[in-house]
Structure 1
Amino acid sequence: MKIKRLLNCSASDFASFDKLNLISSIAASAGRTILAENDVQLDPMTKGITNAEYVAAFGTDLILLNLFDFGTCEIKGIDKTENCIKRLKELTGRPIGVNIEPVDIEAKTLELTKTISQGRIASEKNLKLANEMGFDFICLTGNPSTGVSNNEIEKSIKLAKKIYSGVIIAGKMHGAGVSEPVIDEQTITKFIDAGADIILIPVAGTIPGLSEAEMSSLVNYVHSKEKLVMGAIGTTQEGSDIGTIRELALTSKRAGCDIHHIGDGGYSGTADPENIMQLSISVRGKRHTFHRMALSINR
């Protein structure tokens, strides 16, 4: 079956997708898929709305929830419901994912790490809940100073493969407080062998020492293994100026990333909304950006 490219998908298309459909649709979009992260614990910029609705309105294709706690299942802007993820999909018309953090209590750390709640950790219980609640994808990664290691991410991929049926994204956007390379070919190989569908690679210019040539080499390596890549802007540069976003976006595009991620490090738990729009315009132009922004969730 020929799959519709995600670039042109509507809410009804997304609702009919399974894991393979979503992956194929991203691949068919030829490096023009936008993913925006948002913090579910912070109050949005205005009342009566979620941060997910904000990022959707400014051109996002895929929405990634950060700091979501499976113990409370609370999202600022949504009243308590039986399934807040089902409700969020109704409000945004987009595939929804969640960050889940593989904390390594034995990792050698560079800084004072912080303890996060059990509801955010990559446990069997939380991975099962991600499946039951209908998350379309999970991202096994770490927030700053959480002590998430690549070794623990690899273990969590293997666990997720057994109990979670959606798309698995894996990798770190920064060190997460651990003394180790953020990404290299050896780590990528381990993640792919463990069962990751999409590898997260920081965009050159977001972490110290990663050149565009090195990033491109890593992206090519992932593609040689027939997996997809998400280039991540996750070091609070998502709150910088439009010129910086444009440069990072084109770096990610030149490197060959399939998904272009922008983090939640703005003032109210999202990137500057105009930066989300600029990321989209830079990698796919105004026509596709405005189409995504204007497309009704009732289609």
Structure 2
Amino acid sequence: MVKRLISANASEIVAMTPTELKQSIKASDGRVILSENVVTRIPIIPDISNAELARAFGADLILLNGLDALEPAIVNIEGENSIELLKRYVGRPIGVNIEPVDETANMNETKLTIATGRQANPQTVQALEKLKIDFVCMTGNPGTGVTNAKITEAIKTTRTHFSGLIIAGKMHSAGVDEPVITEKYVKHFMDAGADIILVPSIGTVSGFDESQLKTIVTTVHQHGGLVMSAIGTSQESSDVSTIRDFALKNKMCGVDIQHIGDAGYGGLAPVENIYEMSKAIRGARHTVSMIARSINR
């Protein structure tokens, strides 16, 4: 049987298959943290990567934002295969945001154009498979015009080209005039092949409350999936008491992974907020274990 993620060594984590990683997350009982970072920004410590900073302060999973799969450059990760090097440096599963852009979306704001290698399409997905990415996250950055309908389509296409885990959902509107998440779309995502459903963290999206989150969690768990709550509204840079409040409420609703976004200085949440989230949902013992455990174990 697979070891739970919060107790595993780096060598055990990087050797997990997608199925084993999913089970390892499930076995951690809602105590897994995913930290998102922008790969094109210079970190607050300018000679290392944001992923290294996030791991050092308690992140179990690393999500790269802004990575062009066709030209996969990461600031301060130099080499022919940046993803392979990053995995070696952090000893954690690495994922990448890809965006199912809808050119016909009814926008609330000016639409932004992003590179082909950041969009959810077969070319991008095949490139990520070649890079041995552990998971993809189908979501939308502000103003990119990602819709829930396009996410559903992209999950189906991606499943035929990608062997890793698929996370799907919106953490904010992405500039589109539609509900961020509904139970109907959750079912569509699951039916299309998503492993993990992304939902907004409690306290981040106006009108999304604990009763809605609990309903979604119950539905997803009944269908064998996992749920990730996401702080993607720049509130990841709020004070530590706000982060703790979000984290505990999400845990009470039953989420399996807690995401903390990249809107701090240098394209990463303030490291003290990653640390506080970790302490809030799993205590000092497991927090210290994850940050002190050598990646060479």
Query: If the length of structure 1 is used for normalisation, what is the TM-score?
Result: 0.98
Per-residue deviation, 1:15: 2.1
Per-residue deviation, 1:44: 0.5
1:161 aligned residue (148, 159, 162): 159
**Aligned residue in 2 for 1:44:** 43
Q: Secondary structure at the match of 2:230?
A: strand
**Aligned residue in 2 for 1:35:** 34
**Aligned residue in 2 for 1:113:** 111
**Aligned residue in 1 for 2:52:** 53
Q: Secondary structure at the match of 2:208?
A: coil
Matches within 5 A, 1:28-177: 28-79=27-78, 81-177=79-175
Identify unmatched segments of 5+ residues in structure 2.
none
AA aligned opposite 1:92: V
Deviation string, structure 1 residues 63-111 (Cα, Å, up to 9, x no partner): 00000112321101112x2211110000001110000000000111111
AA aligned opposite 1:229: V
Identity %, equivalent residues = 50
**Aligned residue in 1 for 2:8:** 9
Output the CA distance in 2 between the equivalents of 1:60 and 1:78.
Answer: 18
AA aligned opposite 2:160: K
Per-residue deviation, 1:194: 0.3
AA aligned opposite 1:74: A
Q: Secondary structure at the match of 2:251?
A: helix
Deviation string, structure 1 residues 141-199 (Cα, Å, up to 9, x no partner): 00000000001101110011101000000000000011111111100010000000000
**Aligned residue in 2 for 1:292:** 290
**Aligned residue in 1 for 2:191:** 193
Q: Secondary structure at the match of 1:99?
A: strand
Identify unmatched segments of 5+ residues in structure 1.
none
Per-residue deviation, 1:203: 1.2
Q: CA RMSD in A?
A: 0.7
Matches within 5 A, 1:198-213: 198-213=196-211
